[in-house]
Amino acid sequence: MSGLRRNSFEQSTAAAAHEPLVDRFMRRITDIRISLTRRCNFRCVYCHDEGLGPVLPARNVDPLEMTTSHVLKLVEVAASFGVQSVKFTGGEPLLRPDLAEIVRGSRREIPRVSLTTNGSLLQHRAVELAQAGLERVNISLDTIDPEAFRAIRKGGLAAVLRGIDACLSAGIRPVKLNMVVFSKTLPFIDEMLRFCAEKAGLKLQLIQFMPELAGLKEWMVDIDAVKRDLAQRASSVEVRTMHRRRIYKIGGAEVEVVDPVYNREFCDHCQRLRVTEKGELKGCLNRDDDLVPTVGLDTEGLRAAFRTVVERRVPYYGVYVRDFPERLPDTGPPLRAAQPPPDNAQDLPQAL
Ligand SMILES: C[S@@+](CC[C@H](N)C(=O)[O-])C[C@H]1O[C@@H](n2cnc3c(N)ncnc32)[C@H](O)[C@@H]1O
Ligand code: SF4
91 CB within 6 A, ligand 2: yes
Separation of CA 271 and ligand 1 centre (Å): 19
Which pTM was predicted? 0.90
- In angstroms, rounded to a whole number, what is the distance separating the alpha carbons of residues 190 and 273? 33
47 CB within 6 A, ligand 2: yes
Torsion of CA 275, 280, 283, 285, to 10 degrees: -60
Residue type present at position 96: R
pLDDT of residue 337: 54
- In angstroms, rounded to a whole number, what is the distance separating the alpha carbons of residues 220 and 52? 21
- In angstroms, rounded to a whole number, what is the distance separating the alpha carbons of residues 320 and 349? 8
Q: Are 101 and 66 in contact (CB under 8 A)?
A: no
- In angstroms, rounded to a whole number, what is the distance separating the alpha carbons of residues 152 and 148? 6
179 CB within 6 A, ligand 2: no
Separation of CA 85 and ligand 1 centre (Å): 19
Nearest CA, atom 6, ligand 2? 44
Report which ligand 2 atom has the smallest distance to the Cα of 40: 4
Report which ligand 1 atom has the smallest distance to the Cα of 46: 19
41 CB within 6 A, ligand 2: no
Q: Are 314 and 341 in contact (CB under 8 A)?
A: yes
Report which ligand 2 atom has the smallest distance to the Cα of 41: 4
Which of 140, 209, 243, 259 to mutate to test ligand 1, by most ligand atoms within 8 A of the CB atom? 140
Separation of CA 326 and ligand 2 centre (Å): 29
214 CB within 6 A, ligand 2: no
Which of 36, 118, 203 to mutate to test ligand 1, by most ligand atoms within 8 A of the CB atom? 118
CATH architecture of the domain covering 10-319: Alpha-Beta Barrel (3.20)
Domain ranges of the chain: 10-319
Q: pLDDT of the chain along its 352 residues, tens only?
A: 333 333 444 444 444 457 899 999 999 999 999 999 999 999 999 998 777 778 999 988 889 999 999 999 999 999 999 999 999 999 999 999 999 999 999 999 999 999 999 999 999 999 999 999 999 999 999 999 999 999 999 999 999 999 999 999 999 999 999 999 999 999 999 999 999 999 999 999 999 999 988 788 999 999 999 999 999 999 999 988 778 889 999 989 999 999 999 999 899 999 999 999 999 999 999 999 999 999 999 999 999 999 999 999 999 999 999 999 878 654 444 444 555 444 444 344 444 4
pLDDT of residue 17: 59
pLDDT of residue 119: 98
- Terminal Cα-to-Cα distance of the chain (whole angstroms): 58
Residues 6+ apart with CB under 8 A from 106: 72, 75, 86, 113, 133
